[in-house]
Amino acid sequence: MNQVKTALTIAGTDPSGGAGIQADLKTFQEREVYGMSVITSVVAQNTTGVEAIEHLPIDFIEKQLHSIFSDIYPDALKSGMIATIEMMELLADTLKDKRIPFVIDPVMVAKSGDTLMEEKSRRVIRESLVPLATVVTPNIPETEILVDFKVESYESMKKAAKVIVHELGSKAVVIKGGHLNGAATDVLYDGKEFFDFTAERTNTKHTHGTGCTFSAAITAELAKGKTMEEAVGISKQFITDAIQYSLELGKGNGPTNHWGYRLKGVPSYEKGE
């Protein structure tokens, strides 16, 4: 019997390979699920920033979604760069009756400071997509836009997590602490319990694509049937290793290393410890 699990990413591109669709597909491959992609926007970007963006016509995004769902139905999916209100509405309409894990990485602004989601769409994502999510994975600035208050501490991360689940309607949320100081602590809230995932902060500027890689790993693990707590735990180790062994490529912020975990030998989660 064919046991392979499949995952779909719906996102924008990064021709330099560190973020977006390219990072998602590399992560799916490393996490041993069959990866598929629907492209929303083609982005001319590299390790130094974004040069130009072309959004694909909405009917063409719809055709790509149809190609996937009419043929290889994914076991889980994630969305990344969904820049316009039209794209959000299309996605909400397509996914409303799909009973598979849906991970939303609410990509708004790249680390380079370039805008990846139209300003007016930022609030719309709360009503159109977040209620459909199995888990949302905002970084600190994205969390602040979703909840409308400042998030500067562990306590305010927990307060924001409650708002995202109980008021915005996502089943769970992982608020990523990469933008705060000190240890890199992410907070998972599933509507009942909080779980902390903490790693030592790696002192590097080569963190291009961390959020995409982390959310793609969570998607892959959910596709394999892991619980949310297991999926986030495995993905936290995966992204920590990818940052620790990140690549000094390009002239700006180099990409994370998707095979970083292999450089450490067999990680404990692979040994079933």
Ligand X SMILES: Nc1ncnc2c1ncn2[C@@H]1O[C@H](COP(=O)(O)OP(=O)(O)O)[C@@H](O)[C@H]1O
Ligand Y SMILES: Cc1ncc(COP(=O)(O)OP(=O)(O)O)c(N)n1
260 is catalytic: no
Q: Which of 5, 26, 176, 236 is catalytic?
A: 176
Q: Single out the residue of 17, 35, 178, 233 in contact with ligand X (rule: CB under 6 A).
A: 178
115 is catalytic: no
Do 147 and 114 touch, CB atoms closer than 8 A?
A: no
String of contacts with ligand X for each residue 238-257, x by CB under 6 A: -xx--x--------------
6 is catalytic: no
Is position 125 an interface residue for ligand X (rule: CB under 6 A)? Answer: no
Q: Rounded to an integer, what distance in angstroms lies between the CA atom of residue 161 and that of residue 146? A: 10
- Please, which residue, 35 or 80, has the CB nearer to ligand Y? 80
Q: Quick count: other Cβ atoms within 10 Å of Cβ 236?
A: 24
Is position 106 an interface residue for ligand X (rule: CB under 6 A)? Answer: no
Is position 95 an interface residue for ligand X (rule: CB under 6 A)? Answer: no
Is position 43 an interface residue for ligand Y (rule: CB under 6 A)? Answer: yes
Does residue 11 sit in helix, strand or coil? strand
Residues 126-155 that bind ligand X (CB under 6 A): 139
For the record, the structure tokens of 216 come out as 């793609």
In the 8-state DSSP scheme, what is residue 254? P
Q: Rounded to an integer, what distance in angstroms lies between the CA atom of residue 9 and that of residue 26? A: 11
Does residue 1 sit in helix, strand or coil? coil
204 is catalytic: no
265 is catalytic: no
String of contacts with ligand X for each residue 199-238, x by CB under 6 A: x-xx----x--xx--x---------------------x--
Is position 12 an interface residue for ligand Y (rule: CB under 6 A)? Answer: yes
Is position 80 an interface residue for ligand Y (rule: CB under 6 A)? Answer: yes
Is position 177 an interface residue for ligand X (rule: CB under 6 A)? Answer: yes
Pairing mode, if any, of strands 6-11 and 41-46?
Answer: unpaired
Q: Which range in 12-20, 94-102, 156-164, 261-269 contacts ligand Y by CB under 6 A?
A: 12-20
Phi, psi at 174, each rounded to 5°: -120, 110
Pairing mode, if any, of strands 34-39 and 184-189?
Answer: unpaired
Q: Which of 211, 233, 254, 260 is catalytic?
A: 211
Is position 223 an interface residue for ligand Y (rule: CB under 6 A)? Answer: no
List of residues 6+ apart from 134 with CB closer than 8 A: 101, 102, 103, 170, 171, 172, 222, 228
Query: Could you tell which of ligand Y, ligand X, none binds residue 174, using a CB distance below 5 to 8 A set by kind?
Result: none
211 is catalytic: yes
List of residues 6+ apart from 169 with CB closer than 8 A: 130, 131
Q: Which of 47, 137, 178, 212 is catalytic?
A: 212
Query: Could you tell which of ligand Y, ligand X, none binds residue 201, using a CB distance below 5 to 8 A set by kind?
Result: ligand X
Do 45 and 51 touch, CB atoms closer than 8 A?
A: yes
List of residues 6+ apart from 188 with CB closer than 8 A: 172, 173, 174, 194, 195, 196, 197, 228, 229, 232
Q: Single out the residue of 92, 104, 107, 243 in contact with ligand Y (rule: CB under 6 A).
A: 107
Q: Contact positions toward ligand X, by CB under 6 A?
A: 139, 176-179, 184, 186, 199, 201-202, 207, 210-211, 214, 236, 239-240, 243
Active site residue ranges:
176, 207, 209-212
